[in-house]
Structure 1
Amino acid sequence: MRLTLALLATCAALPAHAEDAFPATLAGHAYLPAFTLVTPPGDAPRDAWLSGKFTGKTRNEAAMSAPADTGKTYGAHPTGLSLPFIGQPVQGMSGFAMNRADDGSIYTLTDNGFGTKANSPDAMLFFHRMAPDFETGKVERLETIFLRDPDHKVPFRIAYEGTEARYLTGADFDPESIQFLNGEIWIGDEFGPYVIRATLDGRVISVHQTMLDGVALNGPDTPGTVVPAAAGKDFRVQRSGGYEGMALQPTTDLLWAMLEKPLLAADGTPEGDFLRVITFDTKAGDWTGESYRFKLAPGAVAIGDFNFIDDTRALVIERDAGEGDAAKACAEGADAATCFPMPAKVKNIVLVDTAQRDADGYIRRIGHIDLMNIADPDGKALDGMKPAEGPFTFPFQTIEDVMRVDDTHILVANDNNLPFSGGREIGQAAHNEFILLSVPELLAAR
């Protein structure tokens, strides 16, 4: 969508808008159990049948022998699960497509596997069709589709290069956002960052390198980035800072690809408290040359998902890096094994209007809801996931899925980083939770 000079002048003259905070009420709650595994396709390498072999310092081929925990930053709480897994973990969801499948199910996807390019060469990449049932509290996985590159469209060597099927793994891409358009799938990747076009049965059609202001954007995990590399000079995209959100604009079929973290300046530090949004034309198969900015709220360090709700307005998840309910935060001097040392604080769903931008390209923030303050007057929260007192919260480190359901409801879900995240209960791996929220005031705001 291109602005005329007259409209640009109008946008630049717009007065500053105060951002409103809107209420949210829990209307439904469902979950997919944390320990959900799928079997690899029959023609996948035998290597894929035991996943997570490289998450430690050395190769480990003893199934379920290495207990996992949340890491020192989050108290090193055990999650009750052990690596490597027999099969492939579904994990949490890393993005919702705006458009649904013909049967009403939701297209969503799993990310690169175990968190890094180095530790995920045996983690297969796939997307799903899922259907949450808020009557039963369960999420049904209807179909899982594995990504593969039989036509050699990926422009670099993949982990399963020498195989016939050429399935993709977490050593190749880190898929974090997904859209469904005209019978095809579009995926936003974090390593390149790249935009990937694929068929509904998972065959890669094309891979597009990111261009900003006529220059290719690279990260430390982009093939071709040679270590040692200087941050801000040899690469500008932060590690795990690629396309966490990629919204599909209904009227234009443009993909608005939003980086998860700020780009790096020449000195290697973040260029500011904003994220770049770069537009890609699905019809032309190329970048438009236009980009915009999304300003993060104080305390937010990244985004989790980005989806349009109409022609110009969209929802963005912004978050801090915290995990766990503040009611169980560690007091000074407390044993971190019994509490949350870095509890969740900033977990917002922000409504923006992409048509309203100032002279510097900042997209207008209209208002937000706070996922740490959700009313539950009807007791919709599932047993074992209700707070002892106070409002319902969604206290996960990585909340990565949001979509509009109807005029008054949105759907939100988390990525549980299996088996390395908790959030609800100390000592228990986080489930893949889907929450239906009643937010009529937010969706009506302009």
Structure 2
Amino acid sequence: MRTQTISAAALLFMSTLATAQTEFPARLAGHVIIPAQTFIAVPADAPADLATSGKFADGPARIESLGSREGKSAGRPTGVKFPFQGQPIQGHSGIKHMPDGSYWVITDNGFGSKAGSPDSALYLNQWQMDWDKGVAKLVKTMFLHDPDKKVPFRIVHEGTDKRYLTGSDFDIEGFQIINDKFWIGDEFGPYLIRTDATGRVEAFFETFAQGKLVMSPDHMRASTPNPGAALAGVNLARSKGFEGLAASKDGKFLYGMLEGPIWDSNKSDWERVGPQQALRVLEFSVVDEKWTGRFWFFPFSPGADSIGDFNMIDGTTALVIERDSGEGTADKACPAGTRAENCFHNIAKFKRIVKIEMDDSNVGQAVRKIAYIDLMKIQDPDQKARKPLNDGVLTFPFFTIENVDIVDGKH
């Protein structure tokens, strides 16, 4: 989901993480800010409808006049008005650090829902970060398109030659680059997509957990039931598909982490490890192009209810963003029990990057949570921050924080 806020990237210095579930300090090593109102144009051969975006972001009725509605975040006016000329560049939902020092970043489906995003183009951007100046330079944009009709269901731009994909077709959230192929995880199905380096879709995969189809209400096979009837086959909540997509260091396997737990029909409850809801991490063989049946559980920590991104460090350990659904800091909190347009009624409390271990010894079981850093108290002794500090530390009090990757042995 794309939110109308400043998009910020932080380079963090991390102390060596020991083998205990312990908090370790994070020190800010760089800070880049991309203004919220940054837009790009679609390719010349894209449908005219994609030249503007956000026309359906405020409900089912089309909004024709550009800039006529002000966006809101949990009822708070953002100061950003839509529909937009062009496509918003924010909504970053997955990141990969490249050998040349650049970063590929994926932009997710658009305006909060499948119904609200038919004019939101799907694309990835390559950036060069200038950590000294605090700015990012856009190198290139790769728009997803399906001229070979690899996507089996009807898409928004079905009858066009290039068949550009939109946020009503997929909600792209995570990706990996293996042998110049882009593997992309989707939340709607959930699905897995492979494209070439131009964004041309080459393959499409449904998702299976231990041989059983994983299906959300937005899956192509789901149909709305009559009143009183069950939504047959659906075992995942809407918008709870792949939020994180990691890859083994040899490129042979992908690991898709769902954002929500699978429904256990035998227990009439969401899957859990102990009392905590637990997400599946599903293994996919890149060589065989199929789900292996192997999986791990990622149980939420008390106070957390979602994950934001997921990337491997080495063969057995990984980084995961684990978070709550709060946003804002205590100095801007609403009085207890109240809500208003100029304050935050549910402030951020739990925003972490967690180091986990997953290997052959805990297949089918919970990952081991080894250590974490707290994104609500990033130390800034070198005065790298480009936004005001809170009680002497930089905070990331955003509702969604969705990008983490390893840069080198210390960052």
Kindly provide the CA deviation profile for residues 242-267 of structure 1, in whole angstroms up to 9, marking residues without a partner as x: 11001111035200110011122327
Amino acid paired to 1:367: A
2:393 is matched with 391
Shift of 1:333: 5.2
Question: 1:127: Cα distance to partner?
Answer: 0.6
Matched with 1:59 is: 62
Question: Secondary structure of 2:92's match?
Answer: coil
1:78 equivalent in structure 2: 77
Aligned CA distance change for structure 1 residues 60 and 129 (closer, same or farther; 3 Å): same
Find the partner of 2:30 among 17, 28, 31: 28
The alignment status of 1:277 with 2:274, answered yes or no, reads no
Unaligned runs of 5+ in 2: 1-18
Identify the match of residue 129 of structure 1 among 119, 126, 151.
126
Superposed, 1:95-244 pairs within 5 Å as 95-97=94-96, 100=98, 103-228=100-225, 234-244=233-243
Q: Does 1:264 align with 2:263?
A: yes
Q: Tell me if the contact between 1:232 and 1:269 (Cα under 8 Å) persists in the aligned partners.
A: no
Question: Match of 1:281, as an amino acid?
Answer: S
Measured in 1, the distance between the counterparts of 2:360 and 2:368 equals 6
Which SS does the other structure have where 1:26 is aligned? strand
> How far apart are residue 186 of structure 1 and its match?
0.6
Higher mean C-alpha displacement, 245-254 vs 155-164: 245-254
TM-score calculated relative to the size of structure 1: 0.83
SS at match of 1:47: helix
The answer for the alignment partner of 2:5 in structure 1 is: none
Give ranges in structure 1 of 5+ residues lacking alignment. 1-16, 410-446
Q: Which amino acid in 1 is paired with 2:162?
A: A
CA shift, 1:231, in A, is: 7.1
Equivalent of 2:408 in 406, 409, 426: 406
Question: For residue 69 of structure 1, what is the aligned residue in structure 2?
Answer: 72
Give the structure-2-normalised TM-score.
0.90
Contact 1:31/1:132, CA 8 A, preserved across alignment: no
Matched-pair contact (CA < 8 Å) for 2:296–2:363: no
Distance 1:234 1:312, change over 3 A: same
Alpha-carbon distance, 1:232 to partner: 7.9
Task: Report what 1:429 is aligned to.
Answer: none
* Aligned-residue offset at 1:18: 5.2
- The equivalent residue for 2:322 is 318
In the TM superposition, 1:285-434 aligns within 5 A as: 285-332=289-336, 334=338, 336-355=340-359, 357-358=361-362, 361-382=365-386, 385-409=387-411
Residues 93 and 87 of structure 1: is their aligned pair in 2 closer, same or farther, counting only changes over 3 Å? same
- Report percent identity of matched pairs: 46
CA distance in 2, matches of 1:142, 1:268: 49
2 CA distance for matches of 1:269 and 1:41?
46
Q: Does the CA-based 8 Å contact 2:144-2:164 persist in structure 1?
A: yes
Aligned to 1:430: none
Cα-Cα RMSD = 1.8
| Separation (CA, whole Å) in 1 of partners of 2:379 and 2:231 | 43
> Match for residue 87 of structure 1?
86
Change (3 A) 1:166 1:359: closer
Is the 1:326–1:345 Cα contact (8 Å) retained in structure 2? no
- The structural deviation recorded for 1:296 is 1.3
